[in-house]
């Protein structure tokens, strides 16, 4: 059976910011040094994150959407190039061998877009196919991974998936809306890229060698959407950038769907929760991680990689689940063990992917 395997990872980050300094220097005075707001801000589970627009240096909260998009177009190409170049190098693949470049982002738009500029700048072939996945939010890496894996299997050619999010460009005017306090505490910027190649039995004419050594196989995906609760998580386009709306009921809704979705994904592949060797769960916030762990009956350390990424990188929207997979890889995935990756976003939507270490 033809397969697709992740054979290279690459990441890139803008300026690193300290959560305590951002609270003390920017949000605290604007929120009247509210103890409730401070408690919520510090409970986000974030200690450091990255931002092209550090509010202590570059306050964009009153910028128009047009100005924010111009800044995205100025900042994104260099970060995208760094992440994709690193992933190609990690996979031992030349840019001219790529058959598909897929770019995922919900934080910036332009046409001609990032996909066109990167393909040309990196020296990808003239016939490279391109795919742009926009405005799906935090879970978008997983349908993106599925589309890229399908291309690899169908065409027998390598492909690249880039998730690039600059959420700091969508900082909103500070109010006493506690949901916005949580949003400002969580979200961060990152670029994460992966290279997928055909498995040893799936080598095509443009990739005669097949997979370049060990990798992470992409086996299956499952999706669940709860339209009745679509208003619980939104990413609204406004005259002042994109505004995130998060309901405190999100963890409860996800809790009702996580178990059945994961069990369906595993059962149709002849597996159970006990067979899973690692979990890459998108840290929409500490409560979401706690809910997932409780519902699935996971041991305390099962989501350590997710919590580490949240602590040091923040919630980087679609890029986050790739960052967690990279963190798990660095820590050492159990050879041959199934891996479940999971992310959530507007809709209210849950995506889960079954991978093979």
Q: What are phi and psi of 187, to 5 degrees?
A: -85, 150
Q: Which residues pair with 338 in a beta bridge?
A: 356
Say how far apart CA 166 and CA 206 lie, in whole Å: 34
* Residue 212 CA from chain centroid, whole number: 24
Per the residue annotation, which of 106, 138, 163, 316 is the catalytic one? 138
CA-angle at 322, arms to 299 and 3, nearest 5°: 95
Q: Which helix (H) or strand (E) holds 166?
A: strand 159-166
353 and 196 in contact (C-beta within 8 Å)? no
Clarify whether 138 is annotated catalytic: yes
In the structure encoding, which two tokens stand for residue 251, read together? 């963890």
Question: Which segments of 164-282 does DSSP mark as H helices, in order?
Answer: 178-186, 250-267
105 and 144 in contact (C-beta within 8 Å)? no
In the structure encoding, which two tokens stand for residue 33, read together? 């040094």
Give the active site residues. Answer: 138
């Amino acid at each position: 059976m033809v397969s697709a395997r992740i054979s290279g990872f690459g990441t890139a980050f803008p300026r690193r910011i300290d959560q305590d300094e951002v609270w003390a220097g920017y949000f605290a005075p604007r929120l009247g040094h509210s103890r409730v707001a401070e408690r919520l801000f510090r409970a986000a589970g974030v200690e450091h994150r990255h931002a092209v627009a550090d509010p202590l240096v570059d306050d964009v909260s009153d910028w128009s959407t047009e100005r924010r998009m111009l800044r995205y177009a100025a900042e994104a190409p260099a970060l995208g190039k760094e992440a994709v170049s690193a992933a190609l190098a990690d996979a031992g693949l030349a840019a001219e061998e790529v058959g598909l470049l897929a770019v995922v982002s919900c934080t910036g738009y332009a046409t001609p877009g990032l996909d066109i500029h990167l393909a040309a700048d990196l020296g990808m072939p003239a016939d490279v196919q391109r795919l742009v996945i926009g405005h799906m939010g935090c879970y978008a890496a997983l349908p993106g991974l599925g589309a890229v894996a399908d291309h690899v299997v169908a065409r027998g050619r390598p492909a690249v998936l880039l998730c690039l999010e600059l959420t700091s460009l969508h900082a909103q005017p500070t109010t006493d809306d506690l949901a916005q306090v949580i949003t400002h505490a969580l979200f961060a910027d990152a670029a994460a890229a992966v290279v997928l190649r055909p498995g040893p039995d799936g080598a095509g004419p443009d990739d005669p060698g097949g997979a370049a050594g060990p990798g992470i196989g992409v086996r299956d995906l499952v999706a669940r959407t709860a339209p009745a609760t679509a208003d619980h998580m939104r990413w609204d386009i406004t005259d002042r950038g994109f505004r995130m709306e998060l309901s405190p009921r999100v963890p409860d809704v996800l809790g009702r769907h996580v178990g059945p979705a994961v069990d369906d994904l595993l059962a149709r592949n002849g597996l159970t929760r006990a067979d899973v060797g690692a979990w890459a769960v998108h840290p929409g916030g500490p409560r979401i991680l706690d809910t997932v762990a409780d519902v699935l009956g996971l041991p305390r350390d099962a989501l350590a990689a997710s919590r580490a990424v949240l602590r040091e990188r923040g919630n980087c929207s679609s890029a986050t689940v790739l960052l967690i997979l990279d963190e798990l890889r660095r820590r050492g995935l159990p050879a041959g063990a199934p891996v479940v990756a999971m992310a959530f976003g507007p809709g209210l939507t849950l995506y889960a992917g079954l991978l093979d270490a």
